[in-house]
Amino acid sequence: MQQLIEFITNHIILFSALVVVLVLIVQNLLASSGGKSSVPPSRATQMINREEAVVVDVRPIADFNNGHIVGAINIPTTALKNQIKQVAKYKGRPIIVVCRSGAQSSAACKVLQEGGIEPVYNLRGGMLAWQSDGLPVSKK
């Protein structure tokens, strides 16, 4: 134990960097797991087909037009608070929020939940995961 304390005091910057990296890794793991509110593309497909889930794509319109999940509604993240009524008409149905990688949609899920919309799910991995699983994408 004495050697550990001596090492830490001699290499405080190195030890501080280690602590910061470990905290960031844990934070990233906790944020990406998402628990119940995060679904993989395979589960999202089941929800769309069996539970009439509504897909809300929060990417910018240009990205949406380059390819999106069939039947998705585009409401960019910047306009979500102002257009929450557009999603509210689907209240009671599962809402799956999607972005490019799953980070922005996670924040958008919180905005929808604060607006009283439930149940809301984040598409884990976003459109990147959807496309890597070979699932259909529409450009219409």
Residue with tokens 């599962």: 94
3-state SS record for the chain? CHHHHHHHHHCHHHHHHHHHHHHHHHHHHHHHHCHHHEECHHHHHHHHHHCCCEEEECCCHHHHHCCECCCCEECCHHHCCCCHHHHHCCCCCCEEEECCCCHHHHHHHHHHHHCCCCCEEEECCHHHHHHHCCCCCECC
109 is catalytic: no
- Point out the catalytic residue in the list 97, 99, 120, 127: 99
Active-site residues, by number, are 99
